[in-house]
Amino acid sequence: MPFSRPDRHLSPIRSFLLACLWTFFFSLLVTPLDAAQWDAEWGGHLRLRGEAGWPDQRSVYAPFGTDPLVDGSIDLRLKNRVFWGDAVDLETHYEFIATGGDTRQKGSALAGGVLSTSVLTSLSTVNDRRRLMDLTATVDEASGHVAYHRLDRLALSLRGQRARVTLGRQALTWGNGLVFNPMDLFNPFAPTDTDRDYKLGDDMALVQMPVSPAGDLQLLYVPRRNLQTENVDWNDSSAAAKLHCAVGTTEFDVMVSRHYRDYVFGLGAAGYLADAAWRMDATWTRRFGVGGRSEFFSLVANLDYSWTWGGKNWYGLMELFANGLGGDDPAAALADPVMVERLDRGELFTLGRAYLAAQLQYEIHPLLNLALTAITNVADPCGIFQPRAVWSLTQNTQLTLGGSLYWGRSGTEFGGFRIVASGPWIHPSDSAYLRLSFFF
């Protein structure tokens, strides 16, 4: 039986207050109100970001001018965790986000014309249309800006001797990929994401059980709503199980899942090669009842190593990703309904078949670190360079300066291509950003 969405949604603040009230009464039921058993933690951050982008002369922005695009955003996150002994805890994260600038202003104009299909002009913000609970509300929205607030975590955990059960909005990461992660089916980070402090939370039920001294079993159910009916639908939901075990210094994962209309099977392993760490994941997906390819295979493998040279700390990473859905022609890949579906759901972010990612970090000073990430589509070839510098100004303040530089010939994924012969160019813009974070 599908669940119907209520006629009236709860605003994030109202939901937060109701959650606090519900938690208080729940605590009276599960345990005596004893100060020795009850505890709470508070935290959060305030993040300010400014960004400038330089669109290509052939880009979709050309009809409106290709002057630099200047944008800014504010991100406030408040975290709370309440404990009742070792058996019960409730985690709540509230966030307020405001963003705007030239990209949104020009994107709004594009959205009203024939260029609205461009993958570079998406103006969507985080929403809960697919999630069980609607805990997101828009505060203000116009052609050049949007402000919204939401609850990104609202999860109750119950611990017993044989299992831990967590219900509500939470984040979960499966898989061993560090840049690409095909086994992470639930709100994975994009390979170009530079801010990876928090994943988006999803409404789910998670059960964790130890199965041996060196293993555990996780059972997961993620109910989702159909975008047309707004009812919870099995064909839009996920159910999965993952077994993790260790044999000596090598760890293994086995995953079985029913994800939307896909059946996804995954195998993973991680271990050590001398002083370096290696990881590998492989997934095989079988699709039913949809157009396009009925099955595909994906693989990720990486090796990372930390060392000291010249009295300084260094870190290096190499990762290979094989995308079974990708193709040699980016325009043709965007015409594949299976590819488009995964791009739209935020599970896949690239169009090619094979990628090589490399990362190098250098600690100039304990308070100042430099890093460079390079991602290359090895079939085109084309790619992106992402340099950044992270400076810890104080114990609770961090300044990050970075950018994204794209390269490749015309007709490639990162060098720019046309969706159709007479259509606009899809060309990512080189950009630079400055991010100031205050933690509390």
Tell me the per-residue pLDDT of 355-385, one tens digit each, with 9 for 90 and over.
999 999 999 999 999 999 999 999 889 999 9
All residues at 6 or more sequence positions from 24 whose CB lies less than 8 Å from its CB, including other chains: none
Assign 89 a pLDDT band (cuts: 50, 70, 90).
very high
Strand ranges (E), 260-396:
262-273, 276-287, 295-309, 312-322, 354-365, 368-377, 382-394
Tokens found for residue 272: 């050590």
pLDDT of residue 359: 98
Task: Return d(Cα 401, Cα 393) in angstroms, integer.
Answer: 13
Q: What is the pLDDT of residues 249-275, one digit of tens each?
A: 999 999 999 999 999 999 999 999 999
Assign 105 a pLDDT band (cuts: 50, 70, 90).
confident
Q: What is the pLDDT of residues 315-367, one digit of tens each?
A: 999 999 999 989 888 888 888 888 888 888 888 999 999 999 999 999 999 99
3-state SS, residue 18: helix
Is omega for the bond preceding 387 within 30 degrees of 0, making it cis?
Answer: no
For residue 152, the tally of other CB atoms under 10 A from its CB is 23
Q: Which of 9-13, 54-58, 136-140, 148-152 has the lowest mean pLDDT?
A: 9-13
Task: Return d(Cα 139, Cα 145) in angstroms, integer.
Answer: 11
Tokens found for residue 131: 């999630």
Burial class (CB in 10 A: 0-12, 13-18, 19+), 96: middle
Task: Return d(Cα 243, Cα 216) in angstroms, integer.
Answer: 6
Mean pLDDT across 43-68: 87
Tokens found for residue 241: 């199980």
* Mean pLDDT taken over the chain: 87
Task: Return d(Cα 75, Cα 48) in angstroms, integer.
Answer: 7
pLDDT of residue 19: 54
